[in-house]
Amino acid sequence: MNSFSKIPVTIVTGFLGAGKTTLIRHLVENARGRRLALVINEFGDVGVDGEILRSCDSDACEPQAIVELANGCLCCTVADDFLPAIEGLLALANRPDHIIVETSGLALPKPLIKAFDWPEIRAKLTVDGVVAVVDGRAVIDGRFADDPDAVLAQRAEDASIDHDNPLEEVYEDQLLAADLVVVNKADLLDAADLATIEAEIRKAVPRAVKVVSAAEGRVDPAVALGLFAAAEDDLAARPSHHEIEGDHDHDDFDTFVVEVAPARDPASLVERLRAVAETHDVLRIKGFVAVEGKAMRLLVQGVGNRFRHQFDRPWAPGETRAGRLVVIAEKGLDEAAVRAALAA
C-alpha cells in the first residue's frame, strides 16, 4: 500500500499562542468538501482549543470526529493516548478524508512522527506534512532567549556556546520537523521583520522548507493540506534536541488552572491579566470568563503581555458561569502570587 492510498495526517505544531487553533479553524471552515477529523492536545485541563473548534460553523468536521486529549503531551504519551484516539477515528462510520493533529505548545513533534512508522499505524496513515506555526511578533521580540542579542553575538564569536533555554529548544525542534512554516500575526510586522524571520528560519532548517506568512491563521487549505511529505519516511532529515540530550522533560514548565470570579468588564480583566503576565513573566494565559451583566461567555487568550478576547457563545441554560484560566510559565513561577493576583 503506497502513501497515496492511506489517510493523510497533518501535524500542526508551534509555540504557545502562535495561532495553531486559529489556523485549524480556518482550515475546517474552508475544507472544500473534505471530511476532516481533529485530535487536539491541550496542556492544562481546561479544553479551550477544543471548545473553539467545536464552535466552528462547518459540516466538514462532525462533533464525534473531534478528539481532545487533555493534560498530557502527545510526544510523551503516544501509546497511551494517541493510538487509541486514532483507532477511534478510524472506526467512525464516516471515516475522515484527512486528520489534523494539533500538538500542545510544549510538544516536540518528532516522537509523534516516529509513531507513524509503527506497523499498526503505517499501514493506514501517512504524515502528509508537519506545519509549524510561528508567532512572528514574539520571534521579533526575542521571546526564545533571555538576552537574544547577546546570545547571537556570543554564538557568532564562539561556535561551542550552547544556550540552554528550554523555550528556544522547543521552538527549534518544531522548525526542524516542519515541511511548512507559517509565520503568523504578519499584520503586526513590516516587510523587514518578515524577511528577517524567514532568513532565520532558513538558516535554522538544513533542508528545503516552505515559508508563508499569514494573519489570523488564514492559510489556503491547498497550501497547508496535500503536502505529500510522508514525513515518517524522512526522519533522518528532521534532527531534534530530544535525541541529542535525552528525555524531553515538561518539568521545565509549570501549568495550573485558576478559577476566577465574574469580571466587571472585559477591558479591566485584560489589564489585570496583562499586569500579571508582565510581573511574573507568564508565557500563556487562556480560558473562559463570565462578565457581569452579559449572557455570553468571554474567551480570553494571551501570549506574554499581548491579549485578545471575544464573546464566543451564550452560557447554556443551567451551565455554571465559572471562569477558569490556564496559566503556563517556565519552572520557578510563584504560583501562589499569580493565583492571588488573578483572584483579586
84/230 same-domain check: yes
Query: Which percentage of the chain shows pLDDT scores above 70?
Result: 77
Query: Which of 140-154, 185-199, 304-318, 323-337 tops mean pLDDT?
Result: 185-199
Residues 6 or more apart from 7 whose CB is under 8 A from it? 90, 95, 96, 97, 98, 99, 124, 125, 126
**Orientation angle between helical segments 166-176 and 191-204, nearest 10 degrees:** 80
In this prediction, residues 247-268 reach a mean pLDDT of 77
State the residue for C-alpha cell 470526529: 65
Higher-confidence position of 149 and 270: 270
Tell me the per-residue pLDDT of 202-217, one tens digit each, with 9 for 90 and over. 988 888 899 999 999 9
226/266 same-domain check: no
Residue 60 has a pLDDT of 59
270/238 same-domain check: no
215/257 same-domain check: no
Q: Kindly tell me if the per-residue pLDDT of 75 is higher than 90.
A: no
Tell me the per-residue pLDDT of 261-292, one tens digit each, with 9 for 90 and over. 999 999 999 999 999 988 988 877 888 899 99
Residue 152 has a pLDDT of 40
Lowest-confidence pick of 29-33, 141-145, 263-267: 141-145
Q: Kindly tell me if the per-residue pLDDT of 50 is higher than 60.
A: no
String of DSSP letters for 280-305: HT-SEEEEEE-BTT-SEEEEEEEETT
Residue 302 has a pLDDT of 81
Calpha distance 21→54 (Å, rounded): 11
Higher-confidence position of 63 and 160: 63
Residue 184 has a pLDDT of 94
Residue 150 has a pLDDT of 39
CATH number assigned to the domain comprising residue 319: 3.30.1220.10
String of DSSP letters for 30-76: T-TT--EEEEEEESSSS-HHHHHHHT---SSS-GGGEEEEESS-TTT
Q: Among 245, 262, 283, identify where a domain stops.
A: 245
97/213 same-domain check: yes
236/256 same-domain check: no
According to DSSP, residue 8 is labeled E
Q: Kindly tell me if the per-residue pLDDT of 155 is higher than 60.
A: no
Q: Kindly tell me if the per-residue pLDDT of 337 is higher than 70.
A: yes
200/79 same-domain check: yes
Residue 186 structural domain? 3-245
Calpha distance 58→257 (Å, rounded): 30
Structural domain count, the chain: 2
Higher-confidence position of 156 and 98: 98
213/257 same-domain check: no
235/310 same-domain check: no
Q: Among 194, 214, 245, identify where a domain stops.
A: 245
CATH number assigned to the domain comprising residue 174: 3.40.50.300
Calpha distance 198→191 (Å, rounded): 11
172/276 same-domain check: no
For residues 228 and 256, is the Cβ–Cβ distance under 8 A?
Answer: no
Q: Among 219, 245, 271, identify where a domain stops.
A: 245
180/269 same-domain check: no
103/183 same-domain check: yes
Q: What is the separation, in whole angstroms, between the first and last Cα of the chain?
A: 59
Q: Kindly tell me if the per-residue pLDDT of 226 is higher than 70.
A: yes
Higher-confidence position of 66 and 212: 212
For residues 328 and 304, is the Cβ–Cβ distance under 8 A?
Answer: no
